[in-house]
Amino acid sequence: MYGLSDEEVAVIRQGGTEGFPPEEAALLEMADALAATPANVSDELFAELRRHFSEEQLIELAASAAQENFRARWNRVFAVESDELYRKGMKFKQR
């Protein structure tokens, strides 16, 4: 299955990572760190990420997070809003 459950989304929206496996929690923390201004991934977080992912994987994951951050900021400039598909019943499959 793909996607997140409603409960997982609620935890993330509150800024938490409780209930996520350690590797996913570290990725969520990395995404938050990359979206902050200024972006800063601490040495401790990077060490935790390296415990779970290869350098090649981290490059790809960081690039994906950076691209989503770019897209989100671009959308704000042009006031692009959600199409609200989630609210219209097109939920992602749960794990």
Positive or negative, the Cα torsion across 27, 47, 39, 74?
negative
CB neighbours (10 Å) of residue 53?
18
Residue 83: per-residue pLDDT:
72
Mean pLDDT of 17-36: 94
Span 28-77, pLDDT tens digits: 999 999 999 899 999 999 999 999 999 999 999 999 999 999 998 888 89
In angstroms, the CA 50 to CA 44 distance is 10
Domain parsing of the chain, residue ranges: 6-77
